[in-house]
Amino acid sequence: MTRTCFVAGSPIAQSRSPMIHGRWIAELGLDAAYVRIEAQPDALPGLLARVRNGELLGGNLTKPLKEAALPALDTLTDDAAALGAVNTVFMDRGALTGANTDVPGFFAHLDETCPGWQRSVDQVLVLGAGGAARAVIYGLLQRQIRQILITNRSAARAQALIESFGGLVRAAQIAIVPWPVPSAAMASSQLVINTTSLGMVGQPALALDWPERLDGTIVYDIVYVPLETDLLLQARRRGARTVDGLGMLLHQAATAFGFWFGTTPQVTPDLWAMVAADITRTAG
């Protein structure tokens, strides 16, 4: 019997998840399929019922379903509970379970691209205060980073994000810096992470007050359309090490695949190149 997984949300036609998971299904020789499902929150009860009764093996949820699904689930993984959002659903020992793969996806790619990065990172600058920033900061707190700076167009939203972590945050561990980002904050940080959509195709540019040099600094942009954002281009010109957002997408997918099929596939250069070529073709 063919086991079917899905990605659901709206709009969903642009999702590259079927390409990614389809590649792994073929490589592993599984009798399985991965499909897109256009869905608004009112369709969630029926969709999740199909997972519960075994008609669907599991799936990914994207906007606007990540928070709407929470009341319908039996249990959450620790990451999903902490972040208040799910992007992966599956059955686990009879329980309809929600997971969030943002944290493992982000850090798997960073660990792979910059091995041992934590040994030289004392301060991290995070651009943005939305859901992606929450996942990144939650992971940084778990990694016990000494100092985290947040900058966001709304300082009130940044403050609310800090307060939402409660006891996870030590005194003075997180601070807010003004927007636009002061060059001094970039220059003093060993890791700079853009979690906003600024710089994405169709979005305004990310305007920064750049320091002259960023030698040794790691700059990570979770945006992956375009593959090389202006942030990464400018950072590289100043001597920074750069990390693209596509790797995070692929590692997130690998973690989800493991929940469904019990094996976590490899994120290979060939897979990266295949998806990168599709992004270049469609974004061009």
Q: How much is the pTM?
A: 0.95
Per-residue model confidence (pLDDT) at position 171: 74
Distance, CA of 271 to CA of 140 (rounded, Å): 27
How confident is the prediction along the chain (284 residues), in pLDDT tens digits per residue?
Answer: 899 999 999 999 999 999 999 999 999 999 999 999 999 999 999 999 999 999 999 999 999 999 999 999 999 999 999 999 999 999 999 999 999 999 999 999 999 999 999 999 999 999 999 999 999 999 999 999 999 999 999 999 999 999 999 888 887 799 999 999 989 999 999 999 999 999 999 999 998 999 999 999 999 999 999 999 999 999 999 999 999 999 999 999 999 999 999 999 999 999 999 999 999 998 75
- Find, among 129, 133, 67, 59, the residue nearest to 103 by Cα: 133
Task: Identify the CATH homologous superfamily for domain 104-244.
Answer: NAD(P)-binding Rossmann-like Domain (3.40.50.720)
- Spell out the CATH class of 3-100+252-283: alpha beta
In whole angstroms, what is the distance from residue 162 CA to residue 267 CA?
A: 33
Any catalytic annotation for residue 63? Answer: no
CB 37 within 8 A of CB 15: no
Domains of the chain, residue spans: 3-100+252-283, 104-244
Give the model confidence (pLDDT) of 19-72 as tens digits: 999 999 999 999 999 999 999 999 999 999 999 999 999 999 999 999 999 999
- What is the spatial distance between Cα 208 and Cα 153, in angstroms, rounded to a whole number? 12
Equal CATH topology for 3-100+252-283 and 104-244? yes
Q: Are 248 and 267 in contact (CB under 8 A)?
A: no
In angstroms, the CA 144 to CA 45 distance is: 38
User: Which candidate in 23, 66, 109, 251 is catalytic?
Assistant: 66
pLDDT of residue 284: 58
Q: How far apart are CA 261 and CA 249, in angstroms?
A: 18
